[in-house]
Structures are given as C-alpha cells and as structure tokens.
Amino acid sequence: MGVEPLARRALIWHAGRGIPAPTGFRLMAPGRITGVLTTPLLSPAGRLRLLWERFVPPSRPAAADDESLEHFAVRRLGREAFERLVQPLASGIWTADPAQLSMAAACPDFLAMEREAGSLWAGERGRLRSQAGASTAAGARYGQFATLASGMETLPRRLADELRQCGVRFVTGTATSLATSADGRWRLMGEGIDEATALADEVVIATPAAAAARLIASVDAGLSAELAGIDYAGSCIVSLGFARDRVAHPLDAAGMVIPRRTGRGILAVSFSSSKFPGRAPPGCVLLRVFLGGALDPGVLHLSDDAIVARARFEVEHLLGARGDPKLTRVERWDHAMPQYHVGHVARVARIDAAVARHPGLALAGAAYTGVGIPQVIASGQRAATRCLQRTC
C-alpha cells in the first residue's frame, strides 16, 4: 500500500515550527518557481540564490568524477538552501555526513540533470512534464513509497516459505570464513555448521560489507580490504504511541525532518499512523523518532532510558506531545547503514572486478548500489542471475 494522499509532503523544522518543503522541490531539485518564491524556509537572498541555479554552469567532467552531496548542493543551490532544505531531507534518507556522501553513488540522477539538461531546474522541469501531477510533491516522490499491510517483515517470511516449498534447505550456524575445496567448490566454515552440508557450487554473500570482508579474507585479501573499506553508521528508532488528544500537532504530513543547524537532538520524526493506515488503534497515533547517524554516533552508547527521554523531550517540543505514551519501543541499528563516501562508485567497480575472478561467488546487499529496499532486492536478483548463468 502507498502513502496516504493527504500525507504526501515533508515538514522541515524552522523558526519554531514545521514548515512544508517547497512545492515541487525534490531533495535538491526545484521544479516550481512559485514554491521557491513563497517558502518561508528561505530568506529573500536564499530564494534568489536558489532561483539563480539555472544559470550556474555545470562542472567540468573529470576522469574520477565525483563530489560530496554538500559540495554539489552548495555549488548549485547556495549554502542557505543546503542547510535549510537539502541537508535535513538527505539526512532523513541516508543518516550520512553530507560532506562525505558521494553524489555519484547516492544521487546519480541529479548529476545527470546537471550534465544533460544544464541545471537542476531544467532537468526537474523536464521530468515533471513527462509525469503529469508530479509537481505537487514536496520533499520526495511519495508515489514511489510503499509498504506491506502486515509490515515489512512479511516479505522475508514469505520468501522463506516459498523457498521451503521449492525444496530449499536452510543451514543455520555462525559462519566465520569461506574457502575453496580441491574440486573448486565453496566450503563454508563456522560454529554450528555441518561440514557435510557446507559445500556449494555457488555462494551469495548478502551480509554487511564488514562481515563479507571477514568471510572472504582467506580467499582474496584485496577484495576483503575493499569490502572492509565501506564505512557504516548506526541509528536508533524510538516508537512512541500516544492517544490522539495528547498530541497537539495535526500530523498532516509524512513526517518532519530536523536541520542540523538547529542543534536539536534528533534527525527526524515519522508520522507513521498518518503515513500508512492501520499503524495505530483508533484514537491513537504512532510516531517514530530517528536519532544518531554518522554525525551523532554517541547516541548508540546511551541507555534505553536516556534515548527515550531524548525522543520524548523532542516530540514534546516539536509536536506538542504531552503525558506518558501508551507505547514505547527502542530499536538499535548499530553499524547498519552503509556510507557511500566520495569514491564509492570506483570502489564498487574494483569489488565487482575482484568478484569476477572467483567463479561461483556473488555479492548482494545495501553496501554497493543502493540502500533502499528496491535497490537491495535488485542486487539479490543480479547475484542470482550470476549464479544461474554459470550453472544453467
């Protein structure tokens, strides 16, 4: 199911309140002049600088063409638009340091706009002309956001059921390393793994990059080093359920992102029960508060009580949430989000070249070509295709 139509916009915290992202503004691409001219998120000088983006010449392509998201956004849109619009919106997606986040890896479509259309303005206007109605978006392309009615865990559970019905056998244990046997097959070794069932013609490593590096170290030290070079950030999510009358804010958006410049203690708040139906009982609302990320790693060292206290303090200030929540849940995701630093595309190319030297080996996961669920699924499909092409 998709995002509720009335919630298809993002709020940005500014001057003591949540203000909608400019109409037609998608992450860093302005699509409507009126949206820029009327937004209170920017000063008059900031609006003029953003409007001037159409006259900013494209950068000259280089052999190793990449730059950070911060450098790109400031170069094209100005410092104010970056700090008040781009940084908070990007942080809600990647939880990354924008001074290190690779444009070529994370936002290749915006690079293409600059190079092919000459500016983000021209590129986004062309995209909107080809997609009727898309200009009403504010902050993201919410028409592409979807979830499962019973929650995202439905997907891996259903996949596991389907595999069992196809006769696939699951071998459990703690894998520590891979090796090749005398006949060229792969041997998985580790605690609780039966040696008789640990031989395979094809292996897909779908772990985080650091774990993949450890598994492959004895087979290819160079590949292992490249995998280990992919950094990760962690975050915490605090789910808070309130009676509806205990939250003053109308919650009439998908959520609110918080610019780093405001000095507040969270990254964003998702209005989950507004965004998707069935996420809270009647008369109640569900808020998911995001903390941590690459620029605030210390959050993961706090106690659950301290994390909850910070989340409650922020939603009280930002949304007018009063009293004790009916539901409180803390989820820690330590080293869970791969960081696509500048140069990531070149690193992935080296990884792909190294993997190609090992028949029967494939990699999949969020560490390589996209952190979103569709991109991760696509990486799994590519890995499966590689294996099938060798065996069929």
Quick: pLDDT tens for 102-135: 999 999 999 999 999 999 999 998 888 887 654 4
H helices within 320-372, ranges in order?
344-356
Residue 7 lies in a domain: no
Question: How far, in whole angstroms, is CA 177 from its chain's centroid?
Answer: 29
| Mean predicted confidence (pLDDT) in 336-353 | 96
Mean pLDDT of the chain: 89
Residue 3 lies in a domain: no
Give the pLDDT of residue 97: 95
Do 382 and 286 belong together in one domain?
no
Residue 347 near residue 226, CB atoms below 8 Å: yes
Give the pLDDT of residue 229: 97
Cβ neighbours around 373 below 10 Å, total: 13
Q: Is the pTM of this model over 0.95?
A: no
Residue 194 lies in a domain: yes
Give the pLDDT of residue 141: 54
Do 224 and 345 belong together in one domain?
yes
Confidence of residue 155 (pLDDT cuts 50, 70, 90): confident
Residue 137 has pLDDT above 70, yes or no: no
Do 118 and 172 belong together in one domain?
no
Quick: pLDDT tens for 313-330: 999 999 999 999 999 999
Do 158 and 284 belong together in one domain?
no
The Cα 114–Cα 122 span in angstroms is: 8
Do 319 and 352 belong together in one domain?
no
Helix axis angle, 344-356 relative to 221-228, nearest 10°?
Answer: 150
Give the pLDDT of residue 276: 83
Number of domains in the chain: 3
| Mean predicted confidence (pLDDT) in 321-346 | 95
Give the pLDDT of residue 373: 86
Range(s) of the domain holding residue 109: 22-131
Do 237 and 322 belong together in one domain?
yes
| Mean predicted confidence (pLDDT) in 208-236 | 95
Residue 310 lies in a domain: yes
